[in-house]
Amino acid sequence: MCESLYLGLMSGTSMDGVDALLADFSTEPPICRGFRHTPYPDTLRQSLLALTCSGPEELERYGDADVAVAHIFARAALDLLAQEKLRPANIRLIGSHGQTIRHRPERGFSVQIGDPNLIAELTGCSVVADFRRRDLAAGGQGAPLVPAFHAALWRSADANRCIVNLGGIANITWLAADMNQAVIGFDTGPANTLMDRWMERHYQLPMDRNGALARQGNVRHDLLHILLSHPYFQLPPPKSTGLERFHLDWVDQCCARCDQPLDRKDVLRTLLELSCLSCVQAIRGCGQPDQLILCGGGSLNPLMVERFAEHLPNTTISTSREFGLDPMWIEAMAFAWLARAFETHQPGNLSEVTGARGGRRLGGLYPAR
């Protein structure tokens, strides 16, 4: 076994597949030794999306999906090991976030599927999983958890930095140059999820690559005003959210409140502006950032990056690539980091971010044998 190699497995609210990353903690900061993305089959993806809301035979569908996701997570891990010419015995631990299908912190629960017992059995690696529920048990939101990793990597006394993760849902991590200030982190609202669902419905495409179609539309300010009136945007942190709040049924309800007809490209452009502006407003509530570090799929959308630059003209904007990590690697590496934190008996949460009563050792161990 290599003492420094941990494997992170992550699938976010985009529900497009599994990111597997091999993290080497023999250096400071850690480095990525290998990465692989394994897409979900479309039938499974549709089943997972259906599980984000109540429906018939829900428990049976949940059980089937729990097994199916575990198989794909295990395959992603084994394929990455084969890609890097490593064996399961070379890996100290797998940190598996699982696939979130419900996130209801106001009711005290969050559900991630992808049975870690099965992942351990199929891979021959010990697995740390179920990271959110201990934080929830301590009165926290259970999310976001990645700000602790952001702070460990990128906090600097030289600049106010804001890390912006643009996945399905957007979250920010505010790292003040004043080291006496607490880290601030929370979900700001939708990033890509509404745009992706709109593209699937109206264009039968998984995403608006490079923002090309949104660029052809115009912001409908009447619709934007209605969208921004969602109560979540006015809630103070700590807070977290998911597909339970931000879904196409809600978009349809907002569109129905507009007096004038809506062009589908204008709606797409307006959804992009919603994602950007709701995030910018949250950032401004923290302070004036010197540096904005973008990661996640939205950081690859040039139009999204342009809008951040226009809204924050006095801020240097870059992606995490300029800081040594590809934007698509961050969350998978974070769960490798959280597995290592579990092993070393370190807290994995930041209570000031999640609202928990204190730092907690997150996750449970599912041994290979």
Quick one: average pLDDT of 128-146? 98
How is 282-304 classified by DSSP, letter by letter?
Answer: HHHHH---SEEEEESGGGG-HHH
pLDDT tens per residue across span 309-349: 999 999 999 999 999 999 999 999 999 999 999 999 999 99
The ranges assigned to domains in the chain are 5-142+329-366, 146-323
Please tell me whether residue 319 adopts helix, strand or coil conformation: strand
- Residue 59: the pLDDT is 96
pLDDT tens per residue across span 199-225: 999 999 999 999 999 999 999 999 999
Element (H, E) at 72: helix 58-83
Quick one: average pLDDT of 123-149? 98
pLDDT tens per residue across span 10-41: 999 999 999 999 999 999 899 999 999 999 99
The structural architecture, per CATH, of the domain 146-323 is 2-Layer Sandwich (3.30)
pLDDT tens per residue across span 191-205: 999 999 999 999 999
What does pTM read for this prediction?
A: 0.96
Quick one: average pLDDT of 87-111? 97
Q: What's the fold here for domain 5-142+329-366?
A: Nucleotidyltransferase; domain 5 (3.30.420)
Mean per-residue pLDDT over the chain, rounded: 97
- Cβ neighbours of residue 276 under 8 Å, at least 6 residues apart? 304, 307, 308, 311
pLDDT at 2 over 70: no
Burial class (CB in 10 A: 0-12, 13-18, 19+), 12: buried
Q: How do beta strands 291-295 and 161-166 pair?
A: parallel
Quick one: average pLDDT of 233-241? 97
pLDDT tens per residue across span 167-189: 999 999 999 999 999 999 999 99
pLDDT tens per residue across span 33-46: 999 999 999 999 99
Percentage of the chain beyond pLDDT 70 is 99
Rounded to whole angstroms, the Cα distance separating 294 from 132 reads: 24
pLDDT at 62 over 70: yes
Percentage of the chain beyond pLDDT 90 is 98
Could you give phi then psi for residue 197, rounded to 5 degrees?
Answer: -65, -40
pLDDT at 271 over 90: yes
- pLDDT bin (cut points 50, 70, 90) of residue 3 is confident
Domains 5-142+329-366 and 146-323 agree in fold: yes
- Residue 1: the pLDDT is 61
- Residue 58: the pLDDT is 94
